[in-house]
Amino acid sequence: MDADGAGIARKHVRSLVVAGEPDDVMRWAEAAREDVSLEVRSADTIAGALRLVETCELDVALIGGAVGDGSYRDLLRALQLAREELPVVVVASLDRHALREAFALGATDVVAPGDLGRLGPAIVRALRDGVLATMLRRKRDAAIDERDPVTGLPQRTAFERYAQTALAACEQDGCTLAVLFLDVDRFRVVNELGDHSAGDTVLREVAARLHDALPAAYVARFGGDEFVLLQKEYEPGSARAAAAAAVAVFAAPFWVSGKPVYLTASVGVASAPEDASDVGALIGTAEAAVFEAKRLGRNMVRWYRSPGSTSSLERVLTRRDLHGAIDRREFELYYQPMYDVETRAIAGVEALLRWRHPVHGLMLPDRFIPVAEEFGLIEEIGAWAMDRAIAQVREWSDIGIPAIRVSVNVSARQLDGDALPALVGRLLAKYEVAASCLEIEITESSIMRDVPAALRLLHALRALGVRVSIDDFGTGYTSLAFLKRFPVDVLKIDRSFVADVANGAFDGAVVRAVTTLARGLGVRTVAEGVELEAQFDRLRALDCDVVQGFLFCHPLPVAACTPLLGAINPIGRVGGQPAESGLVAPR
């Protein structure tokens, strides 16, 4: 454009107008007349607009929401590519999301069709800012184009810009985006091998291997030993394959001063639009996943949302179905016995929630509890479960079953305020059940979320006479010293430690540390997820007090569980049909 300002002062503006309706061209020119006199070249297709852009001198483009052969988004993209410096004013009513997107695609301003009084001033501003914007953009592009000097790869700013465009386009392209955050494990070791050039050599080699292994990915280096890749996913599973391929490039050794160096990498993956809808969040999420991969032992791929867990679509459907599920009586509690290692009698039962979904059948809590938590439905469902579990103790007692203790799981969302102790107190009174018959299971991680609040809650529950158990113990980083301050009765050692207890020395040591400490504090230990004889033997040797797991009994519906409770039930004498329940008598 004529950038000296004189053109603007004359208010004579050469414009490209791409409007959906022919009338719009006239109306816009009319509306802007006070501020500018528009010399109009109009087109009604993207192709037509591009021809004009190529052949005419233009100061500004005015485009409407609908274009003959596409949307204003396509047109914005096309104009960006053809004449990036041409200011573009979009005349359309856009919601907040679309507004942000329009600006990201290069719109200079957006004016609502109902607010055409703003059009003239918007054009004037666009012309004035256009010059400045072009200068700034050139400067920014120069910075963006600056490549990482070691590997020659693009850096963070360039990656973000590329991802931004890809994200805006992915819905129309019919694909999703996966961001793979790759961090070389123990890269320090390489630098310790020699001078910095050793590290640089390896980083260059990593970059080259990533390029070869993932030709369709956009690869950037964020600094240090961090590489970030963007992969478009047209077929389900291709991002998974890409992540595996990224880890696999480390299979062959790297050569430093003639010596082989074996390295591994951790990869965190997040995908859009499922895990995040903007670039910053997407990268942050993938980074969180890589931390998790490191924490779990490195040399692995970790998805932000674990594969197989609920996708966003499934979450929406689940939420819809969860509404009213209580009223439709679709929930049910199953009960899984826990056995005293010493006496082999049933020490209590854990109530485990099941959802009899009209279409999907029996659903396990991991599939729907996170959704219920996310959408604020867990309080109601949790209260229902508490009610049913306490009512069940009453029913068992009414048919002559000796007092049995029921453990009820509560979600982190139920821990805020004093709603939980109030609910528990009310229900114990309603069903006339002794507080000692109830145990509340709270996961370690939800306690650690807000320790002072959790402490208040634990004290309140204890004051009622209810027992408190820390579930999934060992997964939530409680410092063992903390335990002294927690008024708890039971530690449930997480299944992951039990799984390896029979063969790995490490987990044996963890279990030993926990049982020793627990004994010292007068706290009982329960090992959950016991599936094998060997695990049971080892747990007994490690002084675990109580065991629970498929080896002894699966979670059962009430009707199947009740007969087990009729008498004292030693582990070795449960007998009967294994049936659907998979009841097993280990010895």
Residues found near ligand C2E in the complex (CB under 6 A): 336, 352-353, 364-366, 369, 382, 385, 409-411, 441, 471-472, 528-531, 548-550, 555
Based on CB atoms, which residue is closest to ligand C2E, 252 or 364? 364
In the complex with ligand C2E, which residue's Cβ is closer, 267 or 551?
A: 551
**What part of residues 455-474 is at the interface with Mg ion (CB under 5 A)?**
471-472
Question: Residue 353 binds what, of Mg ion, ligand C2E, none (CB under 5 to 8 Å, by partner type)?
Answer: ligand C2E
Residue 124's nearest CA partner among 17, 4, 12 is: 12
* Closest by CA position to 53, among listed 110, 14, 107, 105: 14
CB of 289 within 8 A of CB of 193? no
Closer to ligand C2E at the Cβ: 241 or 362? 362
DSSP result, 15-57: EEEE-SSHHHHHHHHHHHTTT-EEEEEEESSHHHHHHHHHHS-
42 binds Mg ion (CB under 5 A): no
CA distance 124 to 121: 5
Are 234 and 172 in contact by the 8 Å Cβ rule? The answer is no
385 binds, among ligand C2E, Mg ion, none (CB under 5 to 8 A by kind): ligand C2E
Q: Which does 365 bind (CB under 5 to 8 A by kind): Mg ion, ligand C2E, none?
A: ligand C2E
Residues of this chain, 129-168, that bind Mg ion according to CB under 5 A: none
321 lies in the binding site for Mg ion (CB under 5 A): no
Closest separation in Å from C-beta 346 to ligand C2E: 14
Residue 496: CB minimum distance to Mg ion, A: 10
Q: How far apart (Å, rounded) are the C-alpha atoms in residues 101 and 83?
A: 19
Q: How far is the CB of 136 from Mg ion (least distance, A)?
A: 55
- Quick one: which H or E segment has residue 8? helix 6-10
Which of positions 409-428 make contact with Mg ion (CB under 5 A)? 409
Structure-block tokens of residue 517: 């400490």
- Give whichever of 231 and 409 is closer to Mg ion, judged by the CB atom: 409
Report H helices in 493-582: 495-499, 505-521, 533-541, 558-565
Shortest spacing between CB 115 and Mg ion, in angstroms: 57
411 binds, among ligand C2E, Mg ion, none (CB under 5 to 8 A by kind): ligand C2E
Cβ(500)–Cβ(507) under 8 Å? yes
Which of ligand C2E, Mg ion, none does residue 392 bind (CB under 5 to 8 Å by kind)? none
Q: How far is the CB of 354 from ligand C2E (least distance, A)?
A: 7
Q: What is the DSSP string of 100-164?
A: HHHHHTT-SEEE-GGGGGGHHHHHHHHHHHHHHHHHHHHHHHHHHHPPPTTT----HHHHHHHHH
Q: Per CB under 5 A, which of residues 523..542 are in contact with Mg ion?
A: 528
Is-contact 470 444, C-beta < 8 A? yes
Indicate the DSSP class of residue 253. Answer: P
* Contact partner, 364, from ligand C2E, Mg ion, none, Cβ < 5-8 Å per class: ligand C2E
Q: Is 444 in the site for Mg ion (CB under 5 A)?
A: no
Residue whose CB is less far from Mg ion, 148 or 472: 472
Is 274 one of the binding residues for Mg ion (CB under 5 A)? no
Beta strands in 310-431 (DSSP E): 331-340, 346-357, 361-363, 406-410
Pairing mode of beta strands 406-410, 346-357: parallel
Q: Work out how close the CB of 367 gets to ligand C2E at its nearest, in angstroms, rounded to a whole number.
A: 9
Nearer to ligand C2E, 266 or 409 (CB): 409
- What DSSP state is assigned to residue 341? T
CB of 498 to ligand C2E, least distance (A): 8
Minimum CB–partner distance for residue 570 and Mg ion (Å): 23
CA angle 321, 326, 329 (to 5 degrees): 100
Q: Which residue has the tokens 């209580």?
A: 326
Under rule CB under 5 A, which residues in 472-501 are in contact with Mg ion? 472
**Residue placing its CB nearer to ligand C2E in the complex, 439 or 528:** 528
Segment 74 to 133, residues that bind Mg ion, using CB under 5 A:
none
| Residue 445 Cβ vs ligand C2E, minimum distance, rounded to whole Å | 10
Q: Of ligand C2E, Mg ion, none, which one sits near residue 550, judging by CB under 5 to 8 A according to partner kind? A: ligand C2E
Pick 201 or 548: Cβ nearer ligand C2E: 548
Asked whether 561 and 576 are in contact (CB, 8 A), the reply is: no
Among residues 275, 439, 441, 444, the one that binds Mg ion under rule CB under 5 A: 441
Inter-residue contact 449 to 476 (CB < 8 Å): no
419 — phi, psi (to 5°)?
A: -65, -40
User: Would you call 180 helix, strand, or coil by DSSP?
Assistant: strand
CB atoms within 10 A of CB 288: 15
Residue 369, contacted partner among ligand C2E, Mg ion, none, CB below 5-8 A by kind: ligand C2E
Phi/psi zone of residue 552: left (φ > 0), alpha (ψ -120 to 50 degrees), beta? Answer: alpha
CA-atom Rg of the chain in angstroms? 32
User: What's at 554, amino acid-wise?
Assistant: H
Q: Residue 472 Cβ, how far from ligand C2E at the closest point, in Å? A: 6
Nearer to ligand C2E, 370 or 487 (CB): 370
Dihedral pair phi/psi, residue 420, rounded to 5°: -65, -50
- The residue with its CB nearest to ligand C2E is 549
- Which residue, 441 or 545, is less far from Mg ion as judged by CB? 441
| 507 touches Mg ion (CB under 5 A) | no
Residues found near Mg ion in the complex (CB under 5 A): 409, 441, 471-472, 528
